[in-house]
Every structure is written in structure tokens, then in C-alpha cells.
Amino acid sequence: MNSKILSLVICLMSVTESWAATPKYIFYFIGDGMGLGPIMVTEAYNRTVLNNTEHLQMLQFPVTALATSYSANRHITDSAAAGTALSTGSKTNNSMLGVTPDSLPTFSVAKLLKENGYGVAIATTVTLNDATPAAFYGHAPSRKHYYETGKGIIDSGYDFFAGYNLLSRNNNKGEETDLYDRIKKAGYTFATGKEEFETVKNHDKIVYLNKPNGQGHCGYTVDSLGNENFNVPYLTQTCLNHLQRVSPNKFFMMIEGGNIDWIAHANDPGVVKSILDFDAGVKIAYEFYKQHPDETLIIVTADHNTGGLTFGVKGNKRVTLKNLDYQKVSISRFQEYCKNLQKTGESILWEDMKTYIKDNLGLYGAIEVDEKDDKMIKESFDKTFNQKNVEDVKTLYTTYNNFIADVFSVFNRYTGIGWTTTGHTGDFTPVFAIGAGAEIFNGVNNNIDIPKKIAAAAHLNF
């Protein structure tokens, strides 16, 4: 190519670039722990049990790509390093949040957009200063420094926050001021629960918390916690309502499906219901996109895979996803049930437990239990409740007794799904996108590329 033609091509490319539509409305969905395996299982449930002829909403987007999720110091990331990557475009070490490996603060794409006139909302189904949401406003050498990361809300200037609660309200390291008071002084109104929110929803800057429910997060979809708890569609709609009021011309929201990760850490197949809930939130953004197709960008991704869920498990080659319809309780809820029984001090009878399992998991009812597993489950029951010399199983967010672990391992096996870990895995994460600038997400992304591409789509230097 001679130099005249080359410069003409470059000139044309830059004209096309400046013509590319700039998204005014950006939705960034992060399914915490929502790897490709869990999405595949949810899609199969959607197709074969719910009989939906359409794919999950996120799978309908024209851009379907991958991302790598490794952190600065590990093949397998945690949510702090991954959140930092997805928010600030910087790799950091596991457990570090919004800082580089040498503890220098990094800069979030949410902040960049705020400084460029976008209204910003951050929402999650878990605690608001947990790693993923906090990576969009906070900075701390450890994700466990909740007070420190929570303070990031004060300087963020963002318009709306929603989540279960804020941890470490009172700093135990000598600073005298209550975190909530400091955030209030910065101009935010707190609302706890839907009723209270109704009375303050016309305020400009709001921190909106789920009513305490004893779960430590907004509740798992499989437990049917009722209307009082936030789910992903509710959070998406609430952020949308707020941003359309305070910043109707330009806005950005990050919505995290945080308890997808929590339930997957427990190897609980109820994760499928949590992903369906997440997808219902994506659908709300998609409905908005249909009204503003040239001005909206939706990106859906995950920070990592949790649990390594997939089809195929030792001892069972068949997949029976219909079993998931018999599950009425999460592992956490089952644990609560056992704890409450134990608190009464009365002996727990196998027949009663069997009825509970039948009513809440279908085992011994719609799902036949074979002789070998029946024997194993009964022995496990006896060891856990009568001999009481068995240690509980501890995963990152849930502790449960061995009996529950055994019952769920049978339930998982009969369903045909297997788990490789109660931690995270290092496999590829999904990236789905639609709208203005979506095509630049095509291909294999490094997770740090994603916020950079969001900024590039908005024609901002990052």
C-alpha cells in the first residue's frame, strides 16, 4: 500500500471511529462466580425443564466472547482481584481491592464515567462493601478492610447504591465516627427496606439496604424469600428509575449477582435459580435497550467461575434436571432447619428428617434413593446427630453439617451435575454484549480489557 492510500485509510478509519455511536446508557452486569459451566446448566434447564424455546437473555446478545480471569499472583483469582480488574483495568493480587500489588489506588471506569457526566449506580444482592461492588469505589490492601472500602462511597459522588448492608459500620481501629454517619454527612440518604425507601426515593443520593433477614445477603432465589428481599430484576429496575430521574441523559450502572458465588461455594445446585434471576435483570436492561438501541450498551460478564459446576459426575452419566424443581431449600436453609432442631435439645428422628428431605429435595419421594445411598445417608444422619463427633463442612460463606453435605452430594449426583471445588476455578469467563460499541468486546478478552473497552466505547481516555 503506498503512503497516500495508507493515509486515506487512516483518515477514513478515524472518521468512522468518530461516527461510531457513543453509548449514553451503559449497563454492566457481573455474575459473581457465574462461569461457563453454570450458565450451560442453567441454559439446559431453561430449554428442557422450563421448555423455553428462546435462549437465556444474555445468550441472545450478538457479541459472545470470552475473558481470562487470572490475577497478578494467581491462576485462580478471588473476587477482590477480579473486581479490581473489571472495574479499574489493573491486575492486582488476590484479596487486594482497588489497589495495585504495591497498594497504590487504582481508578475505576465508574469514576471516569461519573467525571464525564454520567449518573452512576452500584448494586448487589450481597453486602455493599463486599469485593465486587467495592471494587467500583473503594481502595484497600485487603478486601476484609470493610470500613476502609466502605469509606470509598463518600468520595465516589455516585448517585445510588443498593445492597444487603454495609459491613464494619463501626470502625474498631480508633476512628471515632460511624461509617453510616460519615456517608450521611457526604449527602447520602439511607433507606432500609422497601417501605422506608418509598419515603425517600426522591432524594438525589441514596444508599438503599435490604431489610435484615438473618441471611447475611438478599436471599437465594431457591429459598423463595419473598417480596421484601432484593433480587436482580428489582435492583436493575430500581437503579434505572433513580438514574432516569437524576441523570436522564447519561448513566452507568453496575449490577452484581453476588449470591450466585455464595451458593456455588456451597456446591448447591440452587445456583441455577440464582442465574435465572440474574438473567431476568439482564432482560430489564434489554427492554430498555430496545427503546434506545443506538444509545445503549449492555455488557454481561463474570469475575470467575465458582465451584466448577458441569454436567457429568462420577457414578452417574445421566442428567435429570427436572430434579431441580423438587429443590425448595438451599443448603443454608437446610442448615438453619437442622440448627433449630438441635437447639430444642430433643432427639432428632430419622423419619422426620426423611419427610423434610422428601418435601424439600424430592429424595425418597419423586426421586428414588437406591439401597446403597439410602444406607450411606442413614449412617451419615446417625453420625451427625447421634454420635455428634463429625466436624462441619466449611466453605467460604456457608458452614453446614456433614449430613447435609452427603444428602446434597446424592442430590447433585442423581441430577447428573458435578462440582470440582468449593472454591473458584481459573477457567474462561463469559462476555456477552449488545448495543453501541458492543462489537469491540468480541474475541478473547483479558479481564482488564473490559473496563478499558467500556471507556473506549464511550470515547473516553482511560
Q: Which of 153, 163, 148 is nearest to 32 (CA)?
A: 163
Answer whether 32's CB lies under 8 Å from 257's CB. Answer: yes
State how far the Cα of 19 lies from the Cα of 457, in Å rounded to an integer.
12
Contacts (CB under 5 A) with Zn ion, residues 159-218: none
Write the binding mask 291 to 310 for Zn ion: x where contact by CB under 5 A, - elsewhere: ---------------x----
Rounded least distance, CB 125 to Zn ion, Å: 13
State how far the Cα of 274 lies from the Cα of 455, in Å rounded to an integer.
29
Q: How far is CA 118 from the centre of its chain?
A: 23
Stretch that binds Zn ion, among 188-196, 258-266, 324-332, 425-433 (CB under 5 A): 258-266
Q: What phi and psi values does residue 221 have, to the nearest 5 degrees?
A: -55, -40
Residue 217: DSSP 8-state: S
Closest CB to Zn ion among residues 180, 397: 397
State how far the Cα of 368 lies from the Cα of 117, in Å rounded to an integer.
59
Closest CB to Zn ion among residues 242, 265: 265
Rounded least distance, CB 78 to Zn ion, Å: 7
Rounded least distance, CB 310 to Zn ion, Å: 17
Closest CB to Zn ion among residues 34, 457: 34
Query: Count residues contacting Zn ion (CB under 5 A)?
Result: 2
Stretch that binds Zn ion, among 204-212, 255-263, 267-275, 327-335 (CB under 5 A): 255-263
- Of all residues in the shown chain, the one whose CB is closest to Zn ion is 261
Residues sharing a CB contact under 8 Å with residue 394, sequence separation 6 or more, in sequence order: none
Quickly count: other Cβ atoms within 10 Å of residue 281's Cβ: 28
- Answer yes or no whether residue 261 interacts with Zn ion by CB under 5 A: yes
Rounded least distance, CB 294 to Zn ion, Å: 37
State how far the Cα of 310 lies from the Cα of 319, in Å rounded to an integer.
10
Closest CB to Zn ion among residues 82, 179: 82
- Answer yes or no whether residue 268 interacts with Zn ion by CB under 5 A: no
Rounded least distance, CB 96 to Zn ion, Å: 15
- Answer yes or no whether residue 406 interacts with Zn ion by CB under 5 A: no
Stretch that binds Zn ion, among 184-192, 229-237, 260-268, 341-349 (CB under 5 A): 260-268
Report angle CA 206, 32, 72 to the nearest 5 degrees.
Answer: 105
Which residue type does 7 have? Answer: S
Residue 329: DSSP 8-state: S
Residues of this chain that interact with Zn ion (CB under 5 A) are 261, 306
